[in-house]
Amino acid sequence: GAVVSQHPSWVICKSGTSVKIECRSLDFQATTMFWYRQFPKQSLMLMATSNEGSKATYEQGVEKDKFLINHASLTLSTLTVTSAHPEDSSFYICSATLQSEAFFGQGTRLTVV
């Protein structure tokens, strides 16, 4: 099956700094990618839809100025958590769809200290 790769797998950053997470579709092109967030013992929550060459669409309650999404090519979307705070600590997961099947990255564990 298709592969979606996320980098890094985990990151620890200081409060107030920014962190960039990359999501790549390795063997297919994805005009649309999705970003999710998952807190401990909770389900995945859709944060935003990343569209190649245009602005991302954010779900209600997600701050677009805090979670910057860039989808500059058909194989790469990036999520930047700006001015991170401890409450942003979470598991961030991206996905891309190919032929009715969503392929997920392995996730990025963000810890803000």
Positions in the binding site for other proteins (CB under 8 A): 1, 4, 6, 32, 34, 36, 43-46, 49, 91, 93, 95, 97, 100-107, 109
| Nearest by Cα to 36 from 85, 86, 99, 79 | 79
Q: Which residues pair with 90 in a beta bridge?
A: 110
Compute the least distance from the CB of residue 8 to other proteins, in Å: 14
Compute the least distance from the CB of residue 26 to other proteins, in Å: 14
Compute the least distance from the CB of residue 39 to other proteins, in Å: 12
User: Considering beta carbons, is residue 81 or 105 the nearer one to other proteins?
Assistant: 105
Compute the least distance from the CB of residue 101 to other proteins, in Å: 5
HSE-up of 20 (CA within 13 Å, CB side)?
7
Which sign does the torsion angle of CA 72, 106, 63, 101 carry? positive
CA atoms of 87 and 113, how far apart (whole Å): 10
Pair of tokens at residue 69: 């999404």
User: Considering beta carbons, is residue 83 or 102 the nearer one to other proteins?
Assistant: 102
User: Considering beta carbons, is residue 4 or 84 the nearer one to other proteins?
Assistant: 4
